[in-house]
Structure 1
Amino acid sequence: MTYPYQGAYAESLLAEGRAEGRAESRALGMAEALLKFLDIQGIAVPEEARERVLGCRDEAVLDDWLGRSVTAKSVEDVFG
Structure 2
Amino acid sequence: MSVGTYFPGRGTYRETAYLEGQADGQAKERGQLILRVLDQRLVPVPAETRDRITACTDLDTLGLWLDRAFSAKAVEDLFVEDDERGQG
Asked if these proteins are the same fold (TM beyond 0.5), I'd say yes
The aligned length equals: 71
Q: Tell me what 1:66 maps to.
A: 66
Question: Which runs of no fewer than 5 residues in structure 1 stay unpaired?
Answer: 1-7
1:69: Cα distance to partner? 1.1
**So what's the TM-score if we normalise by structure 2?**
0.77
Partner secondary structure for residue 28 of structure 1:
helix
Q: Percent identity?
A: 34
TM-score by length of 1: 0.85
* Structure 1 or 2: more helix by fraction: 1
Gaps of 5+ in 2: 1-5, 81-88
CA distance in 2 between partners of 1:40 and 1:52 (Å): 19
Q: 1:32-43 counterparts in 2 under 5 A?
A: 32-43=32-43
- CA shift digits 1:17-70 (9 cap, x unpaired): 000000000000000000000000000000110000000010000000011111
- Aligned: 1:15 with 2:18: no
Task: Give the distance between the partners of 2:68 and 2:60, measured in 1 at CA.
Answer: 12
